[in-house]
Amino acid sequence: MAKDFSQKVLMIVAEIPRGKLLTYAQVAKKAGSPRAYRAVGSILRRNYRQSKSQLPLDEFEPVPCHRVIRSDGFAGGYARGEEEKEKMLRSENHIIESHKVKDFDLNS
């Protein structure tokens, strides 16, 4: 069951297009477990890899987990550090001020 949820989460996040964002809660809801937003964070934290052998799903490229943020608009954690996550978000034209994504609309 946990493996199925992990795969669902990674597949959902893999589909987030460049320049778009989802919250951990939105990903959890799409994966069928609306209250499992912390589990989503744990799954995404393990997504980071240093070699191909660490890829969580053999048939997928690394998922863009930097595109998942907290519901309060803050960027949230990232395996390579919050600064790197914010750098990646800025490269996708997001506005970050005081660690918060200013152009994110929770209702989008």
Count of residues making up the chain? 108
DSSP state of 74: B
List the structure tokens of 79.
């395996």
Distance CA 36, CA 91 (A): 29
User: Is 65 considered catalytic here?
Assistant: yes
List the structure tokens of 65.
């987990």
12, 27, 65, 101: which one is catalytic? 65
Q: Which residues are catalytic?
A: 65
